[in-house]
C-alpha cells in the first residue's frame, strides 16, 4: 500500500478523539502561557479564533495531511495558538508521505514561524535564537517521522518475508510428501510386477493345459497359492517403507536392512569419528518382520545422519527395546552444538519422509529439543 492510499484510509474514532484531545490541550496551554500576566487585547481574540479554528481542522491531518497542514501552517504565521496543530500535521506528513514532501512542509512551517516571530513577542528571546529553535524543532519532527515510516516499512517487510517463508516451507513439505508417495508407487511396481507376471504365467498354463496330469496341476496350483500369499506379504511391506535411491546389486535386487544390521550401522558411525552409545534390549531381533526391521533401521540411520550434519562432535545415544507383541521403541538422542546454524539446504524434508514411513508402518514418530538434547523417538507395532 503506497502513501496516498494510506492517507486516504478512514481513521478510527479512537485516533480522531486522541488527536483532538492532544491538540486541544496543547492549544489551551499555549494560549494560557502566552497571555498569563498580560493585559487582554485584540490579539487575544485573534488567538482564540485561531485556536478554535485550528483545533477544528486538526482531525483533517489524519485524512489529508499535506493540505490540512498547509492551512494550519498559514494560521501559525498569525497566531502561536495554531503552532501545536501545525506541528502535529508536520509529524503526520513526515510519517506518511515521501521525504521530499516532508521537507517542503517543514520549510513552510519554518517560514510561517519566522513570520510569526517577526511581529509577535517570543518571551524576550532574540529573533535569531527563535529561528534556530524553530529549525531544530522541525528538523526533529521530520527526522522522527522518517524513522517511524522506515520502521513501519521494515516491520511490514519482515511480516511479508515471514509469510512467504511459511508458504515456502508448506510447499516444500507438500513436495516432500508427494515425493515419498511417488517412491511408494515405484517400489510397488518394482517389487510386485515380476511376481505377478509369474503368477499370470502359471495361471495361464493351468487354463490352457487342462490335459496336464493331476500332479502337475496340483504343483502349479501350489505355486500360485504360495506366490499370491508372498505377493500379499510384500504388498503390506512395500506400503510401510520407502525405497532408498542407493545403487542396487548386480543381480537386480539388494538385501534389505534388518535389526541385526543396527550394530554395523552404529559401528560405521563410530569409524567416521562419532561417539555413539548403543543399548539394544530387543527380544529375538532376527524374528522382527521385515517392514518393522527396515523402518527401525531407517529411523536410527536418520538420527545418526542428522547428528553428524547438525551436531558434529556431540555424543549420540541410541536405545532399542521391545519385542513381539509389545512393539519396538527407538530412541536416538544427541547433544546440541553451541553453534549450529541451520544449513542452507536443510529444510526438514528428511524428517517429513521419515514420519511418513513410520506412519505407514502403523507407528508414531516424535522429534523435539529437550534439556539441551535433540530427541528422535519412534514407536512401531510388532505383531506377536
For residue 238, the model assigns a pLDDT of: 61
CA distance 48 to 51: 5
For residue 1, the model assigns a pLDDT of: 44
What value does the CA radius of gyration of the chain take, rounded to a whole number of Å? 40
E strand or H helix at 211, and its extent?
none
In the three-class reduction of DSSP (H, G, I as helix; E, B as strand; rest coil), residue 288 is classed as coil
Residue range 113-139, pLDDT digits in tens: 999 988 887 767 888 888 999 999 999
As a whole number, mean pLDDT of residues 52-79 equals 94
Q: Is the pLDDT of residue 370 over 90?
A: no
pLDDT > 90 in the chain, percent: 34
CA distance 281 to 320: 6
**Would you tell me which CATH number, out of the four given (3.30.390.50, 3.30.565.10, 3.40.50.1820, 3.90.245.10), belongs to the domain 259-380?**
3.30.565.10
Residue 302 near residue 354 (C-beta atoms within 8 A): yes
As a whole number, mean pLDDT of residues 165-172 equals 87
As a whole number, mean pLDDT of residues 152-170 equals 89
For residue 196, the model assigns a pLDDT of: 63
pTM for this structure? 0.45
Q: Is the pLDDT of residue 57 over 70?
A: yes
For residue 246, the model assigns a pLDDT of: 40
Question: Distance between alpha carbon 29 and the CA centroid of its chain, in Å?
Answer: 49
CA distance 99 to 150: 11
For strands 364-370 and 327-335, give the pairing: unpaired
Residue range 348-357, pLDDT digits in tens: 556 777 787 7
Q: Return the number of other C-beta atoms located less than 10 Å from residue 248's C-beta.
A: 12
Q: Is the pLDDT of residue 204 over 90?
A: no
Q: Is the pLDDT of residue 184 over 50?
A: yes
Q: How confident is the model at residue 88 (pLDDT cuts 50, 70, 90)?
A: very high
Residue range 256-301, pLDDT digits in tens: 778 888 998 888 787 766 789 999 998 888 888 988 898 898 889 8
- 297 burial class (0-12, 13-18, 19+ CB within 10 angstroms)? buried
Q: Between residues 232 and 42, which one has the greater pLDDT?
A: 42
SS3 of 226-270: HHHHHHHHHHHHHCCCCCCCCCCCCCCCCCCCCHHHHHHHHHHHH
Amino acid at each position: 500500500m503506497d502513501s496516498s492510499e494510506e492517507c486516504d484510509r478512514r481513521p478510527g474514532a479512537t485516533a480522531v478523539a486522541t488527536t483532538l484531545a492532544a491538540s486541544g490541550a496543547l492549544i489551551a496551554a499555549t494560549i494560557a502561557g502566552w497571555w498569563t500576566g498580560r493585559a487582554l487585547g485584540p490579539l487575544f481574540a485573534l488567538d482564540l479564533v485561531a485556536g478554535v479554528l485550528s483545533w477544528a481542522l486538526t482531525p483533517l491531518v489524519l485524512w489529508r495531511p499535506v493540505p490540512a497542514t498547509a492551512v494550519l501552517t498559514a494560521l501559525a504565521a498569525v497566531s502561536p495558538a495554531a503552532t501545536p496543530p501545525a506541528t502535529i500535521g508536520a509529524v503526520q506528513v513526515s510519517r506518511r508521505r515521501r521525504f521530499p514532501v516532508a521537507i517542503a512542509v517543514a520549510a513552510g512551517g519554518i517560514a510561517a514561524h519566522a513570520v510569526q516571530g517577526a511581529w509577535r513577542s517570543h518571551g524576550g528571546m532574540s529573533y535569531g535564537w527563535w529561528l534556530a529553535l524553530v529549525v531544530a524543532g522541525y528538523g526533529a519532527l521530520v527526522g522522527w517521522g522518517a524513522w517511524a515510516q522506515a520502521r513501519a516499512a521494515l516491520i511490514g517487510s519482515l511480516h511479508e518475508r515471514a509469510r512467504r517463508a511459511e508458504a515456502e516451507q508448506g510447499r516444500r513439505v507438500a513436495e516432500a510428501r508427494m515425493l515419498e508417495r511417488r517412491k511408494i508407487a515405484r517400489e510397488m511396481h518394482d517389487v510386485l510386477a515380476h511376481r505377478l507376471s509369474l503368477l499370470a504365467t502359471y495361471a495361464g498354463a493351468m487354463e490352457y493345459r487342462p490335459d496336464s496330469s493331476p500332479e502337475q496341476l496340483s504343483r502349479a496350483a501350489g505355486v500360485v497359492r504360495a506366490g499370491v500369499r508372498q505377493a500379499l506379504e510384500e504388498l503390506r511391506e512395500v506400503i510401510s517403507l520407502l525405497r532408498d535411491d542407493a545403487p542396487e546389486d548386480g543381480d537386480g535386487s539388494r538385501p534389505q536392512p534388518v535389526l541385526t544390521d543396527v550394530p554395523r550401522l552404529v559401528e560405521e558411525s563410530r569409524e567416521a569419528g562419532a561417539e555413539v552409545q548403543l543399548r539394544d534390549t530387543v527380544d529375538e531381533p532376527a524374528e522382527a518382520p521385515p517392514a518393522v526391521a527396515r523402518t527401525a533401521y531407517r529411523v536410527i540411520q536418520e538420527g545418526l545422519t542428522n547428528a553428524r550434519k547438525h551436531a558434529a562432535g556431540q555424543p549420540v545415544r541410541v536405545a532399542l527395546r521391545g519385542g513381539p507383541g509389545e512393539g519396538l521403541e527407538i530412541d536416538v538422542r544427541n547433544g546440541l552444538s553451541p553453534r549450529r546454524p541451520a544449513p542452507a539446504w536443510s529444510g526438514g524434508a528428511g524428517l517429513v519422509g521419515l514420519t511418513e514411513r513410520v506412519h505407514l508402518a502403523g507407528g508414531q514418530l516424535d522429534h523435539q529439543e529437550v534439556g539441551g538434547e535433540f530427541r528422535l523417538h519412534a514407536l512401531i507395532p510388532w505383531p506377536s
